[in-house]
Structure 1
Amino acid sequence: MPEPQDARKDLEAELDFDPEALRAKYRAERERRIRPDGSRQYQQLAGEFGAYDEDPHADREFTREPLHDRVEAVIVGGGFGGLLAGARLRQAGVREIRVVEKGGDFGGTWYWNRYPGIHCDIESYIYLPLLEELGYVPRWKYAPGEEIREHARAVARHFGLYDHACFQTQVTELRWDDAESEWIVATDRGDRMRARYVIVSSGTLSEAKLPGIPGIETFRGHTFHTSRWDYDYTGGDANGGLTGLADKRVALIGTGATAIQVVPHLGADAKRVYVFQRTPSSVDVRGNRPTDPQWAKSLEPGWQRRRRENFLKVVTGVRADEDLVDDAWTSTARLQEKLIPTNAYADVPAEERELAYEIADFQKMNELRARVEATVEEAETAERLKPWYRYMCKRPTFSDSYLQTFNRPGVTLVDTADTHGVQRITENAVVVGDREYEVDCIIFATGFEVGVSGVLSGRLPVYGRGGADLLRTWMSGGPRTLHGFYSRGFPNLFHLGPLQNASAVNYVHILDEQATHVAEVIAQARKWQTRCVEPTAESQDAWVATIRRKAADLYRFQAECTPGYYNNEGRPRERSESYGDGPVAFHELLRRWRSEGGLREVLAEDEA
């Protein structure tokens, strides 16, 4: 049997490219972009930048009297996580449900983000939840943002979630009342409402961020963040037609998934567009198309669950007889192992698995770089748009018009890799190197703080039994939960999100599984007339040990990636808090736990 190194050399000798040359190129491109300040290069939309966080869609004159009432369940957050929690609780028989939401309506990220070109990049037939319950089939394979937002509102209407909802309201504190065995929920509108159960679903991409560029506050033109798109200034709507920019010079800072959708509309309508790029995104074929009416009529009961579970299996390497979705996500399933841990490839020796993975990665990225070269006419611009990194170092993007926009005479790509981003902003210009780009408007497509909900950011303090501080408890030794949902000392408090459970690229599917689990736990607590849902110390410790034991080691891969939000700007966290066997195994674990008496671990009569 040949030695591993000999097998590697033999395999690489058969390729039509030089893997070592690509490895060197990736290292060099990464070094061009690493910044010593890491994630500190960004700043929150607060203080003097608080205006960037204002809600352009809500009634600014809205007021109401503070609430001091009692409901059975409070849900923090009105995005799809909160909607699913409300829907599943309603199906479980819970009547008094209050959703508290910072925005002026339901929708979460789809409420805030209404920029031109916005679509989901996951197939709408599996992304939009509760389609069968509402009797709805999306109009496009990849739905536009307005259709998604309207579906979110339809879910809320269908399940009666508008009845007690509090919009334009932010929860400021959760405090457990030991004597009454319920939560006191305080808000920025003076509310002190009480609830038996609290479910926190404040999202993983809920806090927009700005680059900490010197001089940003001195610019005298117009500025806004893409998550607060200003159509009063640009004209048009999410479909384009930005007539207000016809005589404007526009700077767009950032080239992630949002920019990929925005740039074609800016290029079509603005007088001049400068796209400031630190790292190019990988841009694959989108191929969106309207829903076939005959296909929609042929769907049989249970079709959405079958389709989304098939997608989850395919993209995590679990054996499936067919690929129902058949798109760019499923065709790159093997490469997503470096984002979503899975046990599907555990039977392949580690070195063999890593080599096969890397070669497949090189081949895919070569294909995407070739697409850039074939699409972009100007050679220097094409070279700057080529992504030189591994496939899952950044979120893949999909567009059939982004690259083509750089063939327009009024669109200029400004590469900022060697200056580590935009250097400064003046009263009328964006400065990179020795050149000033005079502009009338700066649009920040700089994304969000990732994986930092209100609780984890410290913006939503939580005090449990005896006044114990949840964040401080977690900071000493790391988070401690059972299945990621609840923690000892904080009864009847449930978390939806990626902490100590399993994730996937179709995150709404994950949220639905979580909401279903929480609703079943609460339903059982009501049936048994148990006042408190709280894990035993033994079950919590065992789960934390399981997370540590099964955690995938992604540190080396992420440390070699170009900096971005996936790897904490080049400083990846050494320990994963995700379930290492992947989402398919995790969902089965939850179902088995519920059916085999695991509920007794959280519904014990002892409330000490």
Structure 2
Amino acid sequence: MFDAVIVGAGFAGIGAAIQLKRSGIENFVILDREDDLGGTWYVNHYPGLAVDVPTTTYSYFFEPNPNWSRLFSTGREIKQYADDVADKYDVRRHIRFSTVVEGARWDEDAKLWQVTVNGGEVLSARYLITATGFLSQPKIPDIPGIDNFAGRVIHTTDWDDDYDPAGQRIAVIGTGATAVQLIPELAKTAADLTVYQRTPIWVVPKIDLRFGPRAKKLFARVPATQRVLRWLTDSIYEWMVTIGVVRYRTFRGRGNISAADLSKLHRFVTVRDKELRRRLTPDYDFGCKRPTFSNGYYRTFTRANVHLQDIGIDHVQSDGIVGTDGTKNVIDTLVLATGFDLWEANFPAIEIIGRDGRNLGKWWRENRFQAYQGVSIPYFPNLLSLASPYAFLGLNFFNTMEYQMRLMDRLFREVQARGATTFEVTEEANTRYLDRMTELLGNSLFTLGNCASARSYYYDPAGEPTLLRPTTTETAIREASEFPLSDYAIN
């Protein structure tokens, strides 16, 4: 029997493991379906992969990295950071790779979670922590005939590193953040590249500074210098999310309008064709769908070998794609940059059965998506679900992990102090928190802005923007450190 089972060995799982160790809990196991750690930063390795949040901000606050090569580091460097942190805090020895979790059920008599993995093995644990991330289940588009395509099909989450796009006729479906990074790379050598766009994306210029040897040496010798830089990047992003999303009513969308104007200027400078600019321009407010940074995305569409198709796809044939206007595009390779299935396959990512037989996925869909402090759900004792409704803080996952680790610290210290064996958030506390989140969202961009055409994954299947926690990072961290202990039944 384990004290805890953590599902997922990405940054959330690594952070949860570090916090368990800080709480004196060493008898735990991390289960991951992949054969290495890093989560999305291990699975994704397509050309052009890079973080779209400054790496000074995109890192654990307690573990700054003086070795970043640039402000927006590559996926390879982010993966190396995950390896380094896991090794430094002795996390790797707790991980069981290539282990698929099929489900978890609360045993009320034993007061334990029974976690079933592939092969039928059942692991017992006092605590269950799901760290499956928000971007873990690839989304395959439901397009007639796609299974009949005879050429190469590559989803960006399963990139073939041996694939050479040189001289190929390529179609890319999708224009989200992944596509913005990938498309300029493919265009460099492809004979012909057609981008199938359903929803345009807001793109702003990327100020990507390089960190030379002197800067790295300074960061290593005087860590305070890097913390000052992090404070700056954190503050900028916090300001952007606060005025553009959380307090949209207060600022009347002025921040969104300014950001949209910057994106429009970026398009005007790089794309001289007025009609092409129009087709690349979103018709929803800046921020309704995750925007991104790129200096080359818009420019790519001015290349002779790159074409934008936005009339829609009718079906796929063995050798190409037929548009809704009947025209056919013959291709060699079909690239699916279609993102992730956040809600249907990820909330939750595994079947979880709690007290009195309550099925978490079914309960969420029948009673609204909800989680106290973004981690706890009534009728699910000793469960911390780190990828839950109202968990994600704006643009930076690590700020989310920071407040979640603080909540774990406070909660486990209290459980240990009382000599207790279980904790469970009360229904009253959960309802109070849900009502507060709903009220706060009433002042946000997602309720008041023009977001209908964004097709944003921030919205759950019922149309509520429950992915994001509509508070500042400071508020989330304070509440995680000071929440009333009476909000939990600790026995």
Q: Is the TM value for this pair above 0.5?
A: yes
Partner of residue 186, structure 2: 266
Partner of residue 434, structure 1: 326
Q: 1:291 aligns with which of 199, 202, 211?
A: 211
Inter-CA distance 193–583: structure 2 relative to 1 (3 Å threshold): same
- Give 1:134 deviation, angstroms: 7.0
Question: How do residues 453-464 of structure 1 correspond to structure 2 at under 5 angstroms?
Answer: 454=346, 456-457=347-348, 460-464=350-354
Question: How do residues 136-535 of structure 1 correspond to structure 2 at under 5 angstroms?
Answer: 136-232=66-162, 234=163, 244-299=164-219, 300-301=222-223, 308=230, 311-317=233-239, 332=240, 336-337=244-245, 341-342=246-247, 353-354=251-252, 357-358=253-254, 360-416=255-311, 421-432=312-323, 433-451=325-343, 454=346, 456-457=347-348, 460-479=350-369, 481-501=371-391, 503-535=393-425
Moved more, 558-567 or 522-531: 558-567
Amino acid corresponding to residue 599 of structure 1 in structure 2: L
Structure 2 CA distance for aligned equivalents of residues 312 and 453 of structure 1: 31
- Give 1:452 deviation, angstroms: 5.5
Find the residue that maps to 1:489 and give its secondary structure.
Answer: coil
Find the residue that maps to 2:181 and give its secondary structure.
Answer: helix
Find the residue that maps to 1:392 and give its secondary structure.
Answer: coil
C-alpha contact (below 8 Å) 1:488/1:534 kept by paired residues? yes
Alignment partner of 1:587 is 2:477: yes
Find the residue that maps to 1:125 and give its secondary structure.
Answer: coil
- Give 1:267 deviation, angstroms: 0.9
Find the residue that maps to 1:149 and give its secondary structure.
Answer: helix
C-alpha contact (below 8 Å) 2:9/2:31 kept by paired residues? yes
Inter-CA distance 303–74: structure 2 relative to 1 (3 Å threshold): farther
Find the residue that maps to 1:194 and give its secondary structure.
Answer: strand
Find the residue that maps to 1:98 and give its secondary structure.
Answer: strand
Find the residue that maps to 2:86 and give its secondary structure.
Answer: helix
Amino acid corresponding to residue 147 of structure 2 in structure 1: E
Find the residue that maps to 1:185 and give its secondary structure.
Answer: strand
Structure 2 CA distance for aligned equivalents of residues 464 and 257 of structure 1: 36
C-alpha contact (below 8 Å) 2:284/2:454 kept by paired residues? no
Question: Any stretches of 5+ residues in structure 2 without a counterpart?
Answer: none
Structure 1 CA distance for aligned equivalents of residues 391 and 267 of structure 2: 37
C-alpha contact (below 8 Å) 2:391/2:400 kept by paired residues? no
Partner of residue 485, structure 2: 599
Structure 2 CA distance for aligned equivalents of residues 99 and 192 of structure 1: 14
User: Which whole-Å deviations, capped at 9, do the CAs of 1:48-84 have from their partners, x for residues lacking one?
Assistant: xxxxxxxxxxxxxxxxxxxxxx221111111111111
Question: How do residues 120-139 of structure 1 correspond to structure 2 at under 5 angstroms?
Answer: 120-129=51-60, 133=63, 136-139=66-69
- Give 1:122 deviation, angstroms: 0.4
Give RMSD over aligned pairs.
2.8
C-alpha contact (below 8 Å) 1:75/1:199 kept by paired residues? yes
Structure 2 CA distance for aligned equivalents of residues 402 and 426 of structure 1: 28
User: Which whole-Å deviations, capped at 9, do the CAs of 1:433-492 have from their partners, x for residues lacking one?
Assistant: 1311100110011111235664x25x5222223433333444443355432322332211
Find the residue that maps to 1:423 and give its secondary structure.
Answer: strand
Amino acid corresponding to residue 480 of structure 2 in structure 1: L
Amino acid corresponding to residue 488 of structure 2 in structure 1: V
Structure 1 CA distance for aligned equivalents of residues 452 and 463 of structure 2: 13
Structure 2 CA distance for aligned equivalents of residues 306 and 482 of structure 1: 32
- Give 1:305 deviation, angstroms: 6.2
Find the residue that maps to 2:398 and give its secondary structure.
Answer: helix
Moved more, 213-222 or 159-168: 159-168
Question: Any stretches of 5+ residues in structure 1 without a counterpart?
Answer: 1-69, 235-243, 318-331
- Give 1:534 deviation, angstroms: 1.6
Amino acid corresponding to residue 153 of structure 1 in structure 2: D
Structure 2 CA distance for aligned equivalents of residues 403 and 78 of structure 1: 35
- Give 1:221 deviation, angstroms: 0.8
Amino acid corresponding to residue 186 of structure 1 in structure 2: T
- Give 1:117 deviation, angstroms: 0.4
C-alpha contact (below 8 Å) 1:201/1:497 kept by paired residues? yes
Inter-CA distance 528–266: structure 2 relative to 1 (3 Å threshold): same
Find the residue that maps to 2:406 and give its secondary structure.
Answer: helix
Partner of residue 12, structure 1: none
Amino acid corresponding to residue 279 of structure 1 in structure 2: T
C-alpha contact (below 8 Å) 2:402/2:477 kept by paired residues? no
Structure 2 CA distance for aligned equivalents of residues 369 and 550 of structure 1: 30
User: Which whole-Å deviations, capped at 9, do the CAs of 1:491-538 have from their partners, x for residues lacking one?
Assistant: 111111352456221122212221232144224323432111222344
Partner of residue 456, structure 2: 565
Inter-CA distance 202–452: structure 2 relative to 1 (3 Å threshold): farther
Amino acid corresponding to residue 517 of structure 1 in structure 2: L
C-alpha contact (below 8 Å) 1:451/1:498 kept by paired residues? no
C-alpha contact (below 8 Å) 1:465/1:490 kept by paired residues? yes
Structure 1 CA distance for aligned equivalents of residues 382 and 275 of structure 2: 58
* Matched-pair identity in %: 28
C-alpha contact (below 8 Å) 1:431/1:437 kept by paired residues? yes
